[in-house]
Amino acid sequence: MSQTMKPVTAAAKLGIYLPAAPEAFRNSPISRADLDALRADPPLWLTELQRNGPFPRDVVARKLGVSRSGLARAGITEALDAGQIGALIADPPDWLVHERESYREVVAEKARQRSKQ
């Protein structure tokens, strides 16, 4: 018997926002073979979601260069699409500048601590 995963897990592995996926994907377990097939030959809906979003919070945070906590502090609780992310990057609000700086400091400190070990 093939192992299956919940749609939410498969969506996370694909980097997509589950509520934006087609109903058939959202409502049925996904086998590892199905996931591999989606990665190898993504259908149009998957390509569009990966390119344009809406994106889940972890992807939004990565694209903006901040932590998920930073998004929460800024009040960003919903998925954002590529246009919204692009607008924030093009004209960064004060919170984004601050959160990027803070995130860079945390990442640098973690790297420094790892290099000491």
* pLDDT tens for each residue of 24-57: 999 999 999 999 999 999 999 999 999 999 999 9
Radius of gyration of the chain (CA): 17
Tell me the whole-structure pTM to 2 decimals: 0.81
Cα–Cα dist 54/4, whole Å: 25
The pLDDT of residue 1 is: 56
With beta carbons less than 8 A apart as the criterion, state whether 72 and 43 touch. Answer: no
Could you tell me how far CA 51 lies from the centroid of its own chain? 11
The torsion region of residue 53 among left (phi > 0), alpha (psi -120 to 50) and beta comes to left
With beta carbons less than 8 A apart as the criterion, state whether 15 and 38 touch. Answer: no
Cα–Cα dist 71/23, whole Å: 28
